[in-house]
Structure 1
Amino acid sequence: MIFRQLFDPVSSTYSYILGCEGKHEAIVIDSVFEQHNRDTALLRELNLSVRYAIDTHIHADHVTGAWLMKQEFDAQIAIAEKANVTNADVALHDGETLVFGDCSLTAIATPGHTAGCMTFITEDKSMAFTGDCLLIRSAGRTDFQAGDVETLWNSIRDKIFSLPDGCLIYPAHDYLGRTVSSVAEEKRFNPRIGGDAQQEDFSGYMENMNLPHPKLLALAVPANILSGKPEYEPNIPTWGPITVTFAGIPEVEPDWVANNRATLCILDVRNEQEFQGDLGHVEGSMLIPLSELRQRINEVPKDKPVVVICQSGKRSAMATQILQTDGFKQTANIAGGLINWTKLTLPGLVV
């Protein structure tokens, strides 16, 4: 199974991608709206489609990216029935299983932080995605969204702590750079609920935390009740079919460029010898070697989109970043460079 843990530094949220290598289907857990381009770029690079976009609960500190996943991949939005959200496709109940390819996750109701919290457990019980129920050496707060200390205690002690000791714990947040724990670790070392802690100890701890409400509470909760569906259409570039790689590079496919050469500035960032060499160059392209681009950037027109090319797409990726830094809004790397262009036998090459 493919597994990736991703981090949003603004809300300290962990998102997770679990994918079936054989069937190329994935589940995305606790996605963040602002990280959608990053997440979809990685999913495409891993050749994964999204079967389910799931949230462990209604988040109060960020807006979910579930709706965007639905639009991008025709994913099914899944969340606990007790979360009472709109726009969800699957209202999950305790013990329900979600299948993606040859893999599956089981949803276990673990309320307490909110009434609609769920923990998702892999089929072999080697991994548990606990949301804000059980955190690393901590536990989710219970002072808003129908939270309840006794309910949270029971969820952790009876359901999560009953998993195998070796089961890895992956929470929705951590604020100290910790990425993973285990059932055994939390049973022994969690200062709120582990070791010899009794329910009275846990209640006393949780009821006297006096934490401020999350800064985005007023924005995030209403948005997440709508499953992250925005009131506006996302700002998608209109000049071309742009995708963004996991490294953050905007890319466009060479076949689209070949069919739209007249409306574009094609910037070749190889050297003169390569430009005139065996691979040739795209007819009408502008040559500025990468090593000279910063000094000659004023020669690049800003009145039309600039697509950048080199032999393989590596140097042109760096050139695209340079252009973006200099204020070019309509720029993209040509995916795979001239090697890809030649492989696709596209028109417009001068050899």
Structure 2
Amino acid sequence: MIFRQLFDPVSSTYTYLLGDAGEAVLIDPVYEHVPRDLALLQELGLRLLTTLDTHVHADHVTGAWRLQQRCGSGIAVAEAAGAELATRTLRHGDRIGFGSRHLTVRATPGHTSGCVTYVLDDESMAFTGDSLLIRGCGRTDFQQGSAAQLFTSVREQILSLPEACLLYPAHDYRGVTVTSVAEERRFNPRLGGEVDEGDFTGHMNALNLPHPKMIAVAVPANLRCGQPEEGGLFAGTSAETPDWAPLTLRFSGVWEIEPMALLEHGAGAQLVDVREEAEFVDRLGHLAGARLLPLSQLSDHLPELDKERPVVAVCRSGVRSAQACVLLAKAGFGQVANLAGGMLRWHVEGLPVVCSDNATH
């Protein structure tokens, strides 16, 4: 069996690839990393049968719909999640096959009402989503969560597996990659040892955590299995990765280029700095060859730009330049990218800039 653990550093999400006999499933794919996942499938000679989400995520958008558009894979989500566009809704005890292997579905609600854990056929591995994290667990205060329900789910459906069973969560914020049933029974401060339901619910109900930053975007999108809204920026546009530079597609539909990639591949691009004039010459400086066109004036100067050449928009942090990319795309520019992190990121990475004295540092 082929097994790969992949990572999204923005949301600290793990995506898992399991393959056998030329067939594969992906657990918790992330929208922005679909090109990465497709490349890996191709290199390993695997055909993606199904994407499996452990629940309706609140901190990132699933890649399920986008993968379906690219390779015809099925979309499987818990029936209790209530997601649209799924080709298969899952219940406790269902099996998902790939090659000669299969995963068994265990309902583990509590973090959300539609959480499931996927257990490999020989019970050597389980994919727990947010129901059980490494030395922790998912919150229980929104999306029909319930601390009491989560306590029962983890104790009866996850920690009841063999002690040697390896547990792979949907997230880890410290870079830890795997744990085991034995470890979590002994060391999990919320759910292990002698902790009882009263201890657990009292702790969880007192957390008072802020909502995830992406919740307003992620939950509605994931209830559509990752399909963008009709008429949204990405709807109706090509999802193919441009070949003029290594780019990453964000869920908003804006392509981004990393600073080092721009330095290495951006020789033929038009650099458009959309900050104000005072910012163009401040301590952050500007990119050599960049043209200052403040965002408020950009529309008036579009005829001066060449639609046949790539355009990279730049600002202080990447927010205004993302708006500029939208404007440029709507105006018919087909090769547009946003500088990821803007001049702040460029400065942190120690890359060359032009300062107010026209010297390059």
| Same fold per superposition (TM over 0.5) | yes
CA-to-partner distance for each residue in 1:194-246, whole Å, 9 max, x for gaps? 11111111111111111100001111100011110112337537xxx8688xx
CA distance in 1, matches of 2:82, 2:124: 30
Q: Name the residue aligned to 2:27.
A: 29
Mapped contact 1:32–1:64 kept (Cα < 8 A): yes
Q: 2:101 aligns with which of 103, 106, 127?
A: 103
**Which runs of structure 2 are paired with 1:110-189 in the superposition (5 Å)?**
110-189=108-187
CA distance in 1, matches of 2:50, 2:238: 23
Q: Name the residue aligned to 2:78.
A: 80
**Which runs of structure 2 are paired with 1:1-351 in the superposition (5 Å)?**
1-20=1-20, 22=21, 24-231=22-229, 232-233=234-235, 235-236=237-238
* Residue type of the alignment partner of 1:212: P
CA distance in 1, matches of 2:221, 2:247: 29
SS at match of 2:118: strand
- Report how many aligned residue pairs link the two structures: 259
Task: Tell me how far 1:129 sits from its aligned partner.
Answer: 0.2
SS at match of 1:139: coil
CA distance in 2, matches of 1:203, 1:130: 20
Q: Name the residue aligned to 1:278.
A: none
CA-to-partner distance for each residue in 1:142-198, whole Å, 9 max, x for gaps? 000000011100000111011000100100001111110000000000000111111
Q: Name the residue aligned to 1:323.
A: none
Task: Tell me how far 1:103 sits from its aligned partner.
Answer: 1.4
SS at match of 1:129: strand
CA distance in 2, matches of 1:191, 1:147: 20
CA distance in 2, matches of 1:2, 1:233: 34
Structure 1 residues 91 and 191: CA distance shift in structure 2, 3 A: same
Task: Give the unaligned 5+ runs of structure 2.
Answer: 249-262, 269-305, 311-333, 337-361
Quick check: 31-40 or 185-194, which moved more? 31-40
Q: Percent identity?
A: 53
Task: Tell me how far 1:35 sits from its aligned partner.
Answer: 1.1
CA-to-partner distance for each residue in 1:17-69, whole Å, 9 max, x for gaps? 1011x2x1110000111111111111111111110111000001111000011
* Residue type of the alignment partner of 2:77: I
SS at match of 1:205: helix
Structure number, greater radius of gyration? 1
TM-score calculated relative to the size of structure 2: 0.67
CA distance in 1, matches of 2:155, 2:109: 12
Structure 1 residues 74 and 191: CA distance shift in structure 2, 3 A: same
CA distance in 2, matches of 1:79, 1:233: 23
* Residue type of the alignment partner of 1:217: I
CA distance in 2, matches of 1:215, 1:125: 35
Kindly report the root-mean-square deviation, in angstroms, between the aligned alpha carbons of the 2 structures: 2.8
SS at match of 2:194: coil
CA distance in 2, matches of 1:225, 1:103: 28
Structure 1 residues 150 and 249: CA distance shift in structure 2, 3 A: closer
Task: Give the unaligned 5+ runs of structure 1.
Answer: 251-292, 307-327, 331-351
SS at match of 1:134: coil
- Which structure 1 residue ranges, 4+ long, deviate > 2 Å from structure 2? 231-237, 241-244, 302-306
SS at match of 1:82: helix
Mapped contact 1:41–1:243 kept (Cα < 8 A): no
CA distance in 1, matches of 2:100, 2:85: 27
Mapped contact 2:56–2:223 kept (Cα < 8 A): yes
CA-to-partner distance for each residue in 1:107-144, whole Å, 9 max, x for gaps? 11000001110000000100000000000000110000
CA distance in 1, matches of 2:123, 2:92: 16
* Residue type of the alignment partner of 1:60: A
CA distance in 2, matches of 1:109, 1:61: 21
CA distance in 2, matches of 1:157, 1:31: 27
Structure 1 residues 19 and 167: CA distance shift in structure 2, 3 A: same
